A and B are shown apart, each in its own frame.
Chain A
Amino acid sequence: MSMIEFHGVEKYYGKFHALKDINLTIDRGEVVTVIGPSGSGKSTLLRTINGLEHITEGELIVNDFDLADKHTDMNKIRKNVGMVFQHFNLYANKTVLENITLGPTLVLHRPKDEVQKEAMALLDMVGLVDQAHKFPAALSGGQKQRVAIARSLAMKPRAILFDEPTSALDPEMIGDVLDVMQKIAKQGMTMVVVTHEMGFAQRVGDRIVFMADGQILEDSRDVKGFFEHPQEPRAQEFISKIFNH
């Protein structure tokens, strides 16, 4: 069963060709890591999946909804597809707990007490129960990102998109966030993770996608094999640059 399907997707920003003939099918429960040099279209690819960017051409099916169709209600897709950002984007005017409960109460119309109980359980899972009533400004980057993950889990999504979730964090904080992501992966969540964490890609990823210049150059379910023997010259260059330091 596929969760996300790209068929011949093209994306232009004016004249700039950001995504070139993207074909990619992601199954339910799959953990896909997307790597590649900056400006290669990784984030753009991710952002098309929940409609933050519109595709110019081609077909994009997410959770059985057609994103190219103008009549598709984006909110229906976004209810089912969570997103975790590089810069966390926690609601600055809401407490940690409110950040998590806002979506389920306002969008899913679920009872507040029930949602709060679940939110506290999620905070427990990410190790931040004692921060529930603080505002985001009082948290460290790693804490913010774990709250952001809890916020997207609270919607009980079918899939979660991660846009460089650890790139803005101090090295010491990265481990905590990756641990949480690994837990979620083990629970069978469909995950698309744009990242520079090659260790995470190898340990947790079921599949690796390498992008450069708006194209998918490699797409492999043999993650270890990809890192040992990348096929494309561009991928070889990328891998050797990363591991030579």
Chain B
Amino acid sequence: MQNFIDAYSQVNLAFLLRGLWVTVEVSVTSIFFSFLIGTLLGIARYVKVRFFSSLVGFLIDLLRNLPLLLILFFTYFALPKIGIRLGVIPASIVAMTVFESAMLAEIVRSGINAVPIGQMEAARSNGLSYAQAMIQIILPQAFKKMIPPIVSQFISLVKDTSLATIILLPELTYHAQIVYGQNANYAIPMFVALAVLYFIANYTLSIGARLINRRLNHA
């Protein structure tokens, strides 16, 4: 019990929260960019632009089948060899965005596929162009179907930021490691603190998604 009281000193808790801030910063930025890029790639795969779509398909397959850890290594250790030198935070964001975009592209593509073909036929018969039909009819319905898998993906993303401890990203898990590295008795209190903080971060995400879903259902 004393271990817990000592471990949760003001200094240590402030240090953990600084780590949490980096986790949130990297997660939110990666979520923002991967949502944008993943949506565009998913649409590109769906509409089947000759050559371009197969290229996108190949890249997505490649990235989805590599460990995120390896992608982190590449962005942090390999990119400098070709002159692209990134700090740990930008490198983490780039790696997460690249990996998550590939995952999201597949979610987006399957979401669009799940909208019945009759919706597109009706829209085209109604005189809408392909782009108008996509924007007005297909994508809104597809996104509604995509919300649950996208939220799961973003929850994984938040948890996977801890992999970036490998390139010394000063995020939540890394800061906890530093604390119990100084005193092994603090290990278990730190694990408990990590569990609570990750749970709060991800549960907030789920609740946010539920609110969006409810608004879409009423819209």
Instruction: List the interface of chain A (C-beta within 8 A of B).
Output: 50, 52, 74-75, 78-79, 81-83, 85, 87, 89-94, 102-103, 106-108, 148, 151-152, 155
Nearest neighbor of A79 in chain B, beta-carbon distance: B127
Question: For A93, what are the chain B residues with a Cβ–Cβ distance below 8 Å?
Answer: 137, 140-141, 144
Give the number of residues in B that approach A within 8 Å (Cβ atoms).
18
The answer, yes or no, to whether B67 is at the interface (CB within 8 Å) is no
Q: How far is the CB of B23 from chain A (nearest CB, A)?
A: 35
Q: Which of A52, A85, A106 contacts B132 (CB 8 A)?
A: A106
A82 to B137, alpha carbons, bound, how many Å? 18
> A103 to B126, Cβ gap below 8 A?
yes
Question: For A81, what are the chain B residues with a Cβ–Cβ distance below 8 Å?
Answer: 125
Instruction: List the interface of chain B (C-beta within 8 A of A).
Output: 116, 118-119, 121-129, 132, 136-137, 140-141, 144
A155 to B137, alpha carbons, bound, how many Å? 18
A50 to B127, alpha carbons, bound, how many Å? 10
Q: How far is the CB of A15 from chain B (nearest CB, A)?
A: 23
Question: For B140, what are the chain A residues with a Cβ–Cβ distance below 8 Å?
Answer: 93
Nearest neighbor of A52 in chain B, beta-carbon distance: B121
Q: Which of A75, A85, A155 contacts B122 (CB 8 A)?
A: A85
> B137 to A91, Cβ gap below 8 A?
yes
Nearest neighbor of B132 in chain A, beta-carbon distance: A106
A52 to B125, alpha carbons, bound, how many Å? 8
> A78 to B127, Cβ gap below 8 A?
yes
Nearest neighbor of B142 in chain A, beta-carbon distance: A93
A94 to B136, alpha carbons, bound, how many Å? 9
A91 to B128, alpha carbons, bound, how many Å? 12
Other A-B pairs beyond A82-B125, A107-B132, 8, CB < 8 Å: A75-B129, A78-B127, A82-B126, A83-B122, A91-B136, A91-B137, A93-B137, A93-B144
Q: How far is the CB of B59 from chain A (nearest CB, A)?
A: 31
> A89 to B127, Cβ gap below 8 A?
no
> B118 to A89, Cβ gap below 8 A?
yes
Q: How far is the CB of A101 from chain B (nearest CB, A)?
A: 11
Nearest neighbor of B217 in chain A, beta-carbon distance: A135
> A89 to B124, Cβ gap below 8 A?
no
Question: For A108, what are the chain B residues with a Cβ–Cβ distance below 8 Å?
Answer: 127
A87 to B132, alpha carbons, bound, how many Å? 22
Nearest neighbor of A98 in chain B, beta-carbon distance: B136
> B123 to A91, Cβ gap below 8 A?
yes
> A92 to B141, Cβ gap below 8 A?
yes
Q: How far is the CB of B134 from chain A (nearest CB, A)?
A: 12
Question: For A87, what are the chain B residues with a Cβ–Cβ distance below 8 Å?
Answer: 118
Question: For B137, what are the chain A residues with a Cβ–Cβ distance below 8 Å?
Answer: 91, 93-94
Question: For B123, what are the chain A residues with a Cβ–Cβ distance below 8 Å?
Answer: 91
A102 to B124, alpha carbons, bound, how many Å? 12
Nearest neighbor of A47 in chain B, beta-carbon distance: B121
> B118 to A106, Cβ gap below 8 A?
no
Question: For B127, what are the chain A residues with a Cβ–Cβ distance below 8 Å?
Answer: 75, 78-79, 103, 107-108, 155
Q: How far is the CB of B146 from chain A (nearest CB, A)?
A: 13
Question: For A89, what are the chain B residues with a Cβ–Cβ distance below 8 Å?
Answer: 116, 118-119, 121-122
8 closest Cβ contacts across the A-B interface?
A: A89-B122, A83-B125, A89-B118, A107-B127, A79-B127, A103-B126, A93-B140, A78-B127
> Could you say which of B119, B122, B125 has the most chain A C-beta atoms within 10 Å of its C-beta?
B125
Q: How far is the CB of A201 from chain B (nearest CB, A)?
A: 23
A1 to B141, alpha carbons, bound, how many Å? 42
Question: For A79, what are the chain B residues with a Cβ–Cβ distance below 8 Å?
Answer: 127
> Could you say which of B126, B132, B136, B140 has the most chain A C-beta atoms within 10 Å of its C-beta?
B126
Q: How far is the CB of A127 from chain B (nearest CB, A)?
A: 22
> B121 to A103, Cβ gap below 8 A?
no
> Could you say which of A75, A82, A89, A103 has the most chain B C-beta atoms within 10 Å of its C-beta?
A89
> Could you say which of A52, A92, A93 has the most chain B C-beta atoms within 10 Å of its C-beta?
A93
Given the known interface contacts A52-B121, A85-B118, A93-B137, the answer about A151 and B129 at a Cβ–Cβ threshold of 8 Å is: no
Nearest neighbor of A103 in chain B, beta-carbon distance: B126
> B125 to A90, Cβ gap below 8 A?
no
Given the known interface contacts A52-B121, A85-B118, A89-B118, the answer about A102 and B126 at a Cβ–Cβ threshold of 8 Å is: yes
